[in-house]
Amino acid sequence: MNYVFANKPEFVEPIRVLFLCGSSFKDIKEDKRIILKEYLEQDSANKVILLEKYFEFGSRKRQDGFLSYYDAKLFNLYNIENLAALSATNVIVLHESISTAGEIGVFASNPFLREKLITMIPERYSIEEEKLSNFLHLAFWNKKEAIIPHRVIRYYPIIKEVYISENRSTYYTYFFDNKIPKFAGQLLTKMIGNKCISNVCLSYAKKDKYKKYPSYIKHDPKCTYVNLEYSVFKNYIISLLTISEFRRSLLDCKMVYEVRDLFIKTFLNILKNTVVENTKQCSDKLIVLLNKQPNFKIEDAISFMIYMLHSCGFINIKNKDNGMISVHHKKSTANLLEKYTYLVRKIKPMEWGD
């Protein structure tokens, strides 16, 4: 495709992507993350990622419409959670279990995610056990040396005791009347970041600039290396949906890996055109690096972006009874997508005398 990406200083993202984490998700109206999702999406600029609502590991369950991470060659939950957080404006963790404590630790260990983190937790006297342990306090919110901003929202839940056996019980928590508490909602809205301003500029790495490459890359002086901020990469991928030829090609995809291959091929082709336009040269082999994220291959990041576009409603990927898929565009996002046309443009053909 004869297109290039914009290489200009600023792009104000028209959406906020909000990644919701928690434990024991159930796709019912009483689930706290479902209630949070509905609350946040009252603002049309908010797009909520709720992984458990759409995706799963292993074989695809055609009866419930879930998509399998394996179909997009995503096999590691650690990578998936990090890619989701990198794609998000904010990461909102409903912390009530050991697993969510682990998520907080994962996100807090990545300096690019710390500023995004918001933690919601039941008020300490509402349940028998205090989930926000001293370890979390001292490791991340230590008053003398805090690793992450102290954005912690306490709320008073409705408690339901569930008996596991004669001698053991556990507690489930719910929002009263299936609504987020007013004070907690106001505080959450205040803490959510403004829509991002991305510096959409390319960075080129000469053969001797990077002394240490990611483990999956072998140094080759015949390659052209492009270094992208993750937000720039994300917005470039979304902008592909503004290209009519690309959208038509998406409709022809019958398997998830075909969608993945189409995104990868189109993205790299347009990026190569962009490099040529800006530097007048580009090697046959183009290698894309995500700035200060050496553990992620660009192919995996693109795979996750496909699922992000699905969960945010830009596209719809539907399982069919014959084991294939169908891909559709959401007309409701047309006005949003129009704002991404700023990031990609068709190459103007050369005229005689140019």
Q: How far apart are CA 286 and CA 185, in angstroms?
A: 46
CB atoms within 10 A of CB 49: 24
Q: How far apart are CA 328 and CA 320, in angstroms?
A: 13
pLDDT digits (tens, 9 = 90+) for 228-253: 889 889 999 999 999 999 999 999 99
Residue that is last in its domain, among 164, 194, 224: 194
Same domain, 204 and 304: yes
Residue that is last in its domain, among 145, 169, 194: 194
Task: Say how many CA atoms lie within 13 Å of 256 toward its Cβ.
Answer: 24
Same domain, 251 and 178: no
Q: How far apart are CA 205 and CA 177, in angstroms?
A: 55
Q: How far apart are CA 224 and CA 210, in angstroms?
A: 12
Same domain, 105 and 90: yes
Determine, yes or no, domain membership for 351.
no
Q: How far apart are CA 179 and CA 53, in angstroms?
A: 19
Same domain, 189 and 218: no
Same domain, 310 and 227: yes
Determine, yes or no, domain membership for 187.
yes
Q: What is the pTM of this model?
A: 0.85
Look up the domain containing 315 and give its range.
3-10+198-346
Same domain, 163 and 209: no
Q: Report the C-alpha dihedral over residues 65, 69, 72, 76, rounded to 10 degrees.
A: 180
Query: 146, 140 in Cβ contact below 8 A?
Result: yes
Determine, yes or no, domain membership for 353.
no
Same domain, 116 and 141: yes
Helix, coil or strand: residue 30: coil
Same domain, 148 and 202: no
Helix, coil or strand: residue 128: coil
User: Number of structural domains, the chain?
Assistant: 2
Residue that is last in its domain, among 167, 194, 221: 194
Low-confidence ranges of the chain (pLDDT < 50): 63, 207-213, 215-216, 352
* pLDDT given for residue 40 in this prediction: 94
Helix, coil or strand: residue 46: strand
Same domain, 120 and 230: no
CATH number of residue 107's parent domain: 3.40.50
Same domain, 185 and 210: no
Same domain, 130 and 187: yes
Same domain, 57 and 178: yes
**Which helix or strand (DSSP H or E) is residue 161 part of?**
strand 158-165
Determine, yes or no, domain membership for 354.
no
Q: Cβ neighbours of residue 268 under 8 Å, at least 6 residues apart?
A: 286, 288
Burial group, residue 184, by CB count within 10 angstroms (0-12, 13-18, 19+)? middle
DSSP-assigned letters across all residues of 59-120: S--GGGTPEEGGGGT---HHHHHHHHHHH-SEEEEE--SHHHHHHHHHHHTSTTTGGGEEEE
